C-alpha cells in the first residue's frame, strides 16, 4: 500500500477502507506521508467526501495513531466538546459539576485561534495552573478529583496534529469529514464512554446557519456512535456572547461567580445543565434528561462543583485557596473604560465574530498559533439582545493593556452592536438536539 494509491482512490470517489485509513494515519504520525501527500489527501476528501464508513475508518485510524487512555475507575468516563464561540466558558462549569455527580471527566481541550476563545488559555489565566501536565498526571488527577481540564500531549492522536496543520495551509479546513475526524480522534483516544457535543450556531460561531450546524452535528454524532462512544449533540445559540464576559481571566471570574453563587449567569448555567443532563443520561447516571439536568443544578447550587473545581486547580499547580480568593488571584487589566451606547433603544443584533476579534486585538487571543496571550484583557458586562439601553448606559467595559488599544476597542464594540427603537425577539438559547435515537 502507498500514499499515492490511497489519494487516487479517494479522489476518484472510492471507499476509504479501514486498512487504507490505518496506513495513511500511521504515515502521518511517523512522517512516511509527505506534506504534499497529506495536502492532496485532504483536498481529495474535501472535494469528493467520505461515506459514513470511510469517515469512521479515518476517525478510528487517527485515534489509534498514538496513545489511547485506559481507565479503571468506579464510574463512567465522559466528556464534552464545543465547536467554539465567544464568552463560552461552559467547560469550566460543566467538568466539575459532572465530577460532583459521580462521573469522571478527562477534558482534553484546545487553545483559541481566530475569534473564538480557548479553554486552555482560560485555565492558564489562573496563576500556576499547568495545562499540559502529561498523561500520568492527567490520569491521577481524574482519579483523585473526578475531572481535569488539560491539553493533549504529543502522544494523543499525532496523525490529527499533523493533518490539522496541513488543512490550514491547504485550504481544506471546512471539510466536514476532516473536522469530524479531527475532533473525535482526540476525544475517543481519551477512552470515553459518553460524549456530548455543543455545536454553536450564529454570528459568533464557525457555523453561521442552523443548516450548517445540523450537518456537522449529524456527522459527529453518527461517527462517534458508530465508533462505539455514546454521543449526542445540542445546537446552541452563538449570535452573541454566551457569557457577559469575553476574555480569559474575565470568563474565569464569571464562572467562579456562578459556581459560588455570588453572581449567576443564567444562560451559562442553562447551557451547562442541558449538556450535563445529556451526558449523564448517555452514561446511565440519570434516568432521563430532566433528571440529569437537575443533578447538575444540585451540584452547582450545593457548592460541590465549586469544591471540585478548587481541588482540580490545586492538583494542577494553581492556588490552594482559589475558590475563596479568586478575585485576588486573577490578573487585572491596566485600563478599564466604558463603551457608551451610541443611542437609546434596544439591543437588536450583535456581531459576535466582531466582538471576538476585538478581544484578539486587545491581546486576548491569537492571530497566529505562536502569539502570546494577555490573560487580563477582554470585555465584561456585555449588553445582550433585547436589553433596553437608556441615557448614559454602556454596552460593556473594555479591559485593555493601554489607553490606545482601549479606544480602538470602544469603536469596534460600538460598530458590532445594532440598536433599535423596538424590542426584538430574543434568540432561543437551544436551537435543536440530535441524539443516537435520531440517526435511524
Q: What are 379-393's pLDDT values in tens digits?
A: 999 999 999 998 889
The highest-confidence range among 72-86, 107-121, 279-293, by mean pLDDT, is: 279-293
Q: Using the 8-state DSSP alphabet, how is residue 115 labeled?
A: T
261 burial (CB, 10 Å; 0-12 / 13-18 / 19+) is: exposed
- pLDDT bracket for residue 326 (50, 70, 90): very high
Residue 47, pLDDT score? 95
73 Cβ contact partners less than 8 Å away, ≥ 6 residues apart: 104, 142, 143
C-alpha cell at 267: 444562560
Mean pLDDT of 121-129: 96
Q: What is the mean pLDDT of residues 245-267?
A: 95
Burial class (CB in 10 A: 0-12, 13-18, 19+), 348: middle
pLDDT for residue 391: 81
Per-residue pLDDT at 439: 82
C-alpha cell at 348: 437588536
Of residues 155 and 25, which shows the higher confidence score? 25
Grid cell digits, residue 268: 451559562
Q: Which of 366, 347, 317, 301 is nearest to 111 (CA)?
A: 366
Q: Report, as an integer, the average pLDDT of 396-405.
A: 97
d(CA 108, CA 121): 13
pLDDT value of position 281:
98
Q: How confident is the model at residue 203 (pLDDT cuts 50, 70, 90)?
A: confident
In degrees and rounded to multiples of 5, residue 276 shows phi and psi of: -65, -40
Residue 112 has pLDDT above 70, yes or no: no
> Which three three-digit cell numbers place residue 377?
484583557
Angle at 269 between CA 347 and CA 323, to 5 degrees: 115
Mean pLDDT of the chain, nearest integer: 93
Q: Name the band, by pLDDT with cuts 50, 70 and 90, for residue 365.
A: confident
Among positive and negative, which fits the CA dihedral 308, 117, 241, 359?
Answer: positive
The predicted pLDDT at position 387 comes to 95
Q: Give the pLDDT confidence score for residue 172 in this predicted structure.
A: 87
Q: What per-residue confidence (pLDDT) applies to 331?
A: 97
Residue 152 carries which DSSP code? P
Residue 406 pLDDT exceeds 90: yes
Are 265 and 273 in contact by the 8 Å Cβ rule? The answer is no
Q: What residues contact residue 219 under an 8 Å CB cut-off, 6+ apart?
A: 55, 176, 177, 179, 180
Whether residue 370 is predicted with pLDDT greater than 80 in this model: the reply is no
Q: What's the average model confidence in pLDDT over 105-131?
A: 86
Whether the per-residue pLDDT at 186 is higher than 70: the answer is yes
Q: Which cell numbers in the block locate residue 86?
A: 465567544
Asked if residue 121 has pLDDT above 70, the reply is yes
* Exposed e or buried b per residue across 152-186, where buried means at least 16 C-beta atoms within 10 angstroms of its C-beta: bbeebbbbbbbbbebbeebebeebbbbbbbbbbbb
Q: What is the DSSP string of 358-400?
A: HHIIIIIS-SSTT----TT-EEES---TT-EE-TT-EEEEEEE
CA distance 78 to 76: 6
Percent of the chain whose pLDDT exceeds 90: 85
Q: Which residues are catalytic?
A: 79-82, 119, 167, 182, 186-187
By mean pLDDT, which of 204-213, 257-266, 290-299 is the weakest?
A: 204-213
Kind of pairing, strands 345-350 and 417-420? antiparallel
* Structure-model confidence comparison of residues 11 and 153, the more confident one: 11
Rounded Cα distance between 162 and 165, Å, is: 6
- Backbone CA torsion sign across 164, 167, 173, 178: negative
Is pLDDT at 189 greater than 80 in this prediction?
yes
Average the pLDDT over 316-343 and give the result.
96
Q: Is 46 left (phi over 0), alpha (psi -120 to 50) or beta?
A: alpha
Amino acid at each position: 500500500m502507498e500514499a499515492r494509491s490511497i489519494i487516487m482512490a479517494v479522489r476518484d470517489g472510492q471507499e476509504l477502507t479501514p486498512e487504507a485509513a490505518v496506513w495513511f494515519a500511521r504515515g502521518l504520525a511517523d512522517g512516511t506521508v509527505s506534506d504534499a501527500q497529506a495536502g492532496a489527501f485532504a483536498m481529495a476528501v474535501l472535494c469528493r467526501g467520505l461515506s459514513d464508513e470511510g469517515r469512521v475508518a479515518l476517525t478510528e485510524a487517527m485515534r489509534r495513531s498514538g496513545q489511547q487512555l485506559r481507565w479503571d475507575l468506579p464510574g463512567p468516563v465522559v466528556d464534552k466538546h464545543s465547536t467554539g464561540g465567544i464568552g463560552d466558558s461552559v467547560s469550566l462549569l460543566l467538568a466539575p459539576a459532572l465530577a460532583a455527580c459521580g462521573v469522571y471527566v478527562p477534558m482534553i481541550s484546545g487553545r483559541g485561534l481566530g475569534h473564538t476563545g480557548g479553554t486552555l488559555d482560560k485555565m492558564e489565566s489562573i496563576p500556576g495552573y499547568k495545562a499540559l501536565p502529561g498523561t500520568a498526571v492527567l490520569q491521577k488527577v481524574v482519579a483523585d478529583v473526578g475531572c481535569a481540564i488539560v491539553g493533549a500531549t504529543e502522544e494523543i492522536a499525532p496523525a490529527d496534529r499533523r493533518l490539522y496543520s496541513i488543512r490550514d495551509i491547504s485550504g481544506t479546513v471546512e471539510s466536514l469529514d476532516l473536522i469530524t475526524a479531527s475532533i473525535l480522534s482526540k476525544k475517543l483516544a481519551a477512552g470515553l464512554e459518553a460524549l456530548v457535543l455543543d455545536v454553536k450556531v450564529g454570528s459568533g460561531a464557525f457555523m453561521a446557519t442552523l443548516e450548517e450546524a445540523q450537518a456537522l452535528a449529524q456527522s459527529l454524532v453518527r461517527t462517534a456512535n458508530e465508533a462505539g462512544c455514546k454521543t449526542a449533540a445540542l445546537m446552541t445559540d452563538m449570535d452573541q456572547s454566551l457569557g457577559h464576559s469575553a476574555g480569559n481571566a474575565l470568563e474565569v471570574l464569571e464562572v467562579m461567580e456562578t459556581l459560588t453563587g455570588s453572581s449567576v449567569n443564567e444562560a451559562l448555567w442553562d447551557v451547562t445543565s442541558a449538556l450535563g443532563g445529556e451526558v449523564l443520561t448517555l452514561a446511565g447516571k440519570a434516568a432521563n434528561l430532566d433528571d440529569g439536568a437537575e443533578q447538575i443544578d444540585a451540584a452547582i447550587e450545593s457548592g460541590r462543583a465549586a469544591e471540585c473545581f478548587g481541588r482540580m486547580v490545586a492538583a494542577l499547580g494553581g492556588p490552594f485557596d482559589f475558590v475563596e480568593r479568586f478575585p485576588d488571584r486573577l490578573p487585572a487589566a491596566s485600563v478599564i473604560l466604558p463603551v457608551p451606547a451610541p443611542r437609546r433603544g434596544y439591543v437588536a443584533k450583535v456581531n459576535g465574530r466582531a466582538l471576538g476579534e476585538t478581544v484578539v486585538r486587545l491581546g486576548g487571543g491569537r492571530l497566529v498559533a505562536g502569539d502570546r496571550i494577555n490573560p487580563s484583557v477582554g470585555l465584561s458586562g456585555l449588553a445582550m439582545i433585547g436589553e433596553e439601553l437608556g441615557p448614559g448606559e454602556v454596552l460593556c467595559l473594555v479591559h485593555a493593556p493601554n489607553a490606545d488599544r482601549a479606544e480602538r476597542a470602544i469603536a469596534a464594540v460600538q460598530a458590532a452592536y445594532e440598536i433599535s427603537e423596538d424590542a426584538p425577539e430574543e434568540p432561543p438559547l437551544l436551537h435543536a438536539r440530535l441524539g443516537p435515537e435520531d440517526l435511524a
